[in-house]
Amino acid sequence: MRILVVYYSMYGHTLTLARAVAEGAGQVANAEVMLRRVQEFEVVDKKIDENEAARQVREQQSEIPVCTVDDLRSADGVIFGSPTRYGNMTAQMKQLIDSTTSLWLNGEMEGKPAGVFTSTASTHGGQETTLLTMMVPLLHLGMLIVGVPYSLPSMIHTEARGGTPYGATTIAGGQGELQPKPEDLEIARALGRRVAEVTAKVRS
């Protein structure tokens, strides 16, 4: 059973969540986890050359393969992660999703479980809107959306941290100065585990 974790990250927060999601998925029996990053745009890549923090994060991800349509095709379950851009996913992630026409035409993603996760700069910067709008194309592709249940102890809280029933989240801070809290990572691992568990059930 193949579980694909595909993410985009410029300053590393979504990358940290992606690693936790992958770890959770890997805890499920017979799960082969593929961690993939989304292809960067050339124009953004040039801007990153001038930004020390983003350059370092680019370097940290250099060993992670870029996601292809074949990766999506071969996966039995997929978990998508994108930081927010004005309350929506990044254009880079949307570009990947928009390259799936052949998969859509042949119904190749239908019935595959999917989950989503995100990072925002601020507490109310669009966690839920990003996750919910990320789900829309996945539903068009016929995927089965899997969220995070409230039975997880860290889900009910009033602190400035992540954790939504729509998917895992974290708060990066206005300058990217915050890091995912232990609870954010726990919820990210739970999302990965849950998508993998549901995938195993769907396949049987």
Ligand X SMILES: Cc1cc2nc3c(=O)[nH]c(=O)nc-3n(C[C@H](O)[C@H](O)[C@H](O)COP(=O)(O)O)c2cc1C
Q: Which residues bind ligand X (CB under 6 A)?
A: 9-14, 83-87, 119-122, 125-126, 172, 176
Number of other residues whose CB lies within 10 A of the CB of residue 119: 31
Pick the closer one to ligand X by CB: 56 or 122.
122
What helix, strand, coil percent values describe the chain, rounded to 5? 45, 20, 40
Query: Based on CB atoms, which residue is closest to ligand X, 106 or 122?
Result: 122
Nearest residue to the partner ligand X, using Cβ: 125
Compute and round to an integer the Cα radius of gyration of the chain: 16
Q: Which is nearer to ligand X, 169 or 199 (CB)?
A: 169
CB of residue 76 vs ligand X: minimum separation in angstroms? 26
User: Least Å distance between CB 115 and ligand X?
Assistant: 17
Q: How far is the CB of 175 from ligand X (least distance, A)?
A: 9
CB of 170 to ligand X, least distance (A): 8
Q: Vertex 138, ends 28 and 197: CA angle to 5°? A: 15
**Residue 101 neighbours by CB distance under 10 Å:** 9
Is 104 within 8 Å of 69 (Cβ atoms)?
no
Q: Which is nearer to ligand X, 61 or 154 (CB)?
A: 61
